[in-house]
Structure 1
């Protein structure tokens, strides 16, 4: 039976809705009319600059993640990959926490790669540990943080240490509490991908291109949506307003974590933004900004929701926020 395009189901609702909107615009009384003024040029330029900067930062890493995912699909069998995976959970979490040293990929490129790795047999707790630790514990981010805080090297060591601790704790909690596969993509969907690969396996270049383009465009659309929403928030909410929100001691932690979530900066550049707040916030909130943002931000949350079930993403978000918060408070008291 031929499937109906889901967009066609909305036509019976969209046609009368468009008529109502057109009628309201024509017939609405003058004293009730809304002021539909166009945004000024400064707003448009600010939004455009923010959107382009986020896209230019993130898109190359999404492409890198798609390329690596396709290479794994083509050249590494499921049986070989399963033999590589540590069997003991503690060793597995330790392995995943340091895997970013070998694969220095930004958080945007993690999602397509991790989905492929889980399909190939990587345990969920190892995959999640890699997602949250890899964007921080890698040589590129280490160098960027060192340059941004070269006069305050304690931030560099605190960032790497707290990221490692949080990744280990979250990974072990996922191992202990999550049962089943939280991926949205079904086994049937993956089997269809495999069949498509078999049809092209006479030409490896064609196979690589098909897999890479599928991964890239599937993740890219969520990146664009997240970038639009993030740019809108950055443009509409001023820094002064955000600073007033985070005035308290504990409030400053929440503010900087929320600020990192909204800004959605790449983990290779967020240290330079954090360095500008050295004389405004205490070390603890800055550390929370440096660790929480790469683990969970606005555009990354949308990409996670495109791959994992909503309940699991909410649970993971709660774990990340609470453990990073508690860890940043402890590091501020004992080490900074």
Structure 2
């Protein structure tokens, strides 16, 4: 099968194959909302609890951080899907997939967005004929190396400018390595983009149809991811972090896992990392590299846009490569 045929296979994957796998994010969200309405009287008396207040605060903060960038990503994704011709990407990126991967990774520098916006954009790029490896490299690089994130990192670590360099280089290396790894080991049927007949009409109608689809589809998984992150914040005792910080190897693993669980937007995670002063700079660098690439809300959104099979393979591999790259960068640069 040629590369062009592989791309078409990905784009034309029937939505029914995914619907048959279980309850969709929209159905799950609707069920939760119905239950909240039915039991609102009983639940209102529980809101005064300290743990529930913490859960609500974290849940809302994750959504407030993520939604603007999700909307930005959805709008840009719709523009790419409807108005940008396929011939543009053939000219903008190198023809050889191995060269297109680093080119797409560097392109992430010019996009001031977070991981929530990068997911629908990457899906739209694949639909427009971009090789999946390059689109996935862009997905990982854009939230981590754009100017807003790097500037925020510099502000959060005023006495350690090397953190900015280490974060940018490590994140770029992870994006390129994962793109090349996909070229080597990735399979076409691991990505299941839903069929989009709504993109076949007039441009204006197709644009708004694409926006509605991505907001509902990706937004539902974002809500589920935010709820999971809030639950983890309430469950994990703070004392555990203090104990882990005293062990170099465990501190790296602890902050890597914490980055996945907290699901903080990449524009804000540097300030959280700076506040974890009991941990070493290297372990905090791991937190900054892993977070924008692998977290609960991002895994949920990847499952919604690309399919669960993709997320189950891509997320663990990205996690491992991100931890390794961040540790190496920390040892060399910090």
Question: Which entry has the higher C-alpha Rg, 1 or 2?
Answer: 1
* Deviation sequence 1:40-66 (CA, Å, 0-9, x none): 621221111111110000011111111
Structure 1 residue matching 2:143: 3-state secondary structure: coil
* Partner of residue 320, structure 1: 318
After TM superposition, the score normalised by the length of structure 2 is 0.82
Please, which of 303, 306, 323 is the counterpart of residue 305 of structure 1?
303
Alpha-carbon distance in 2 for matches of 1:225, 1:64: 20
Matched, 1:179 2:187: yes
SS of the residue corresponding to residue 80 of structure 1 reads helix
Are the equivalent residues in 1 in contact too, given 2:217–2:305 (CA < 8 A)?
no
Q: Distance in 1 between matches of 2:242 and 2:331?
A: 23
Counterpart of 1:276?
A: 275
Q: Identify the residue that residue 50 of structure 1 maps to in structure 2.
A: 58
In structure 2, the CA distance between the partners of 1:332 and 1:79, relative to structure 1 (3 Å rule), is: closer
Query: Shift in Å at residue 167 of structure 1?
Result: 1.4
Following superposition, the deviation at residue 183 of structure 1 comes to 2.3
Picking from 109, 125, 149, the partner of 2:133 is: 125
**1:268-301 deviation line (CA, Å, top 9, x unaligned):** 01000111123x1122111100100001101111
Does residue 212 of structure 1 match 2:217? no
Q: Which runs of 5+ in 1 are unaligned?
A: 10-36
Name the structure 2 match of 1:34: none
SS at match of 1:136: helix
Correspondence 1:209-248 to 2 at 5 A: 209-245=208-244, 247-248=246-247
- 1:194 match: 199
Alpha-carbon distance, 1:150 to partner: 1.4
> What are the superposed Cα offsets for residues 124-177 of structure 1, whole Å, 9 maximum, x if unpaired?
110111111110110110110111111110111110111111112111111111
CA RMSD of aligned residues (A): 2.2
Moved over 6 A (4+): none
Residue 73 of structure 1 and its aligned partner are, at CA, apart by: 2.1
Aligned residues: 294
Cα deviation 1:170-208 (Å, max 9, x = unaligned): 11111111132432224xx23x1233xx1x44xx2x443
Give unpaired runs (5+ residues) of structure 2: 1-15, 24-44
Q: CA deviation at 1:78?
A: 2.3
The alignment's TM-score, normalised by the length of structure 1, stands at 0.81
DSSP 3-state at the match of 2:192 = coil
Where does residue 78 of structure 2 map in the other structure? 70
